[in-house]
Amino acid sequence: MTGKEATLYEKLPQQKVRCTACARYCEVAPGQIGLCGIRGNTDGRLDLFVYGKVIAGHVDPIEKKPAVHFHPGSRVLSIATTGCNWLCRYCQNHDISQRRRVEGQDMTPREVVQTALEYGADGIAYTYNQPSIFIEFARDVGVIARKNGLYNVFVSNGYDTPQTVEMMGEFLDCITVDFKGSAEPGFTKRYIGVPDPQPIFDTLLEIRDKTDIHIEITDLIVPQVGDDLRYARKLCEFVYDELGSDTPIHFLRFHPDYKMMDLEATPVRTLERHHHVAKEVGLEYAYLGNVPGHPLEHTICFRCGATAIERFGFDIRAWNLDENNRCLSCKNQLPIVGELSRNYKSNRFVFVR
């Protein structure tokens, strides 16, 4: 298998290498591949085997990521490679993320950007699998994207390192970090294959302290096994104390998939309880996701309670902000990056899947 030499790794004795792209820090001997399935040791150097291999691409609304305080209504070209550093038993993209064959459409970074421009996208999202494991490719795409007026978004599990955060700072504009199971160590160990979620918290502090990347938090609420309100409160308190009360947080509805088909979809009442915890803690902008038509999809002005942005699923139905993103009812400044995109009513297109 051939690839391009990675940047994020350290050389060890006996031609071993230590990958520094994620918090697993895999130590890989010659001829071996890390847990992610896409970073391996070739004669004492670490290669990224999926460099330029795009396994999926789709033009999405930014709200699907979900990011609702970052260029609302805009469109992103979402791309992925194979592989992942997590082993989620319920992954809805398992055919991509858990695939351990290097496959995909050959695309140079410039070709990815050109595709985004041709489809009228406002930015590029690196998603469907964990983007930090192919961050060298994402960085090369992202630098060119910025030069062409496009923004860059990671949809991430946050299980990263100081080295990945430093590289993110070269090109990334927005990141959504998904805590799955409310950051409960027992859940992450059993259902994700991650013994300790602490590196996710550490990554968020690194991003806060060393970059100006816009952050939104999500938490997929898995019923019965990952819906403990005590951990939801812990997460909300961390967001409030360390990231700020105006940081958006999304509680997402689980649906059965992959190896967890025996569970039901998350009861809406369970999601509403998590939302209530967020508001009790003091978070100003909490949302429910994957529940189209629920009133907690809307952005509510924290000061006066007026509906600032009305949504149905990923679509914006009403925009009640002025040109400076101030509430029309009380003139409160909402923490939203960018103005309403001209693309917010455009059709969505697929180019490869």
The mean pLDDT value of the chain amounts to 95
Tell me what pLDDT residue 351 has.
39
Nearest residue to 49 via CA among 14, 25, 12, 19? 19
pLDDT at 348: 40
Closest CA to 52 of 128, 158, 125, 136: 136
Question: What is the pLDDT at residue 288?
Answer: 98
Point out the annotated binding site: 84, 88, 91
Residue-range domain boundaries for the chain: 4-48, 53-346
Binding residues for [4Fe-4S] cluster: 84, 88, 91
Per-residue pLDDT at 164 exceeds 90: yes
How is residue 59 written in tokens?
A: 């033009």
Gap between the Cα atoms of 27 and 349, Å rounded: 41
pLDDT in tens, 262-296: 999 999 999 999 999 999 999 999 999 999 999 99
Architecture of the 53-346 domain: Alpha-Beta Barrel (3.20)
Q: pLDDT band at 182, cuts 50/70/90?
A: low
Question: Dmax of the chain from CA atoms?
Answer: 67
- pLDDT of the residue at 325: 96
- Express each pLDDT in 90-145 by its tens digit: 999 999 999 999 999 999 999 999 999 999 999 999 999 999 999 999 999 999 99
As a whole number of angstroms, the distance between CA 298 and CA 312 comes to 8
Give tens-digit pLDDT for 188-215: 999 999 989 999 999 999 999 999 999 9
Closest CA to 82 of 58, 105, 103: 103
* Helices and strands (H, E) in the chain, number of each type: 8, 20
219 with 250: CB under 8 angstroms? yes
DSSP string, 42-95: ETTEEEETTTTEE-EEEEEEGGGTT-SSBSTT-EEEEEE-S--S---TT-TTHH
3-state DSSP percent of the chain in helix, strand and coil, to 5: 25, 25, 45
Show Cβ contacts of residue 264 under 8 Å, excluding neighbours closer than 6 positions. 223, 256
Alpha carbon distance 86, 34 (integer Å): 12
How would residue 345 be classed by pLDDT, with cut points 50, 70 and 90? low
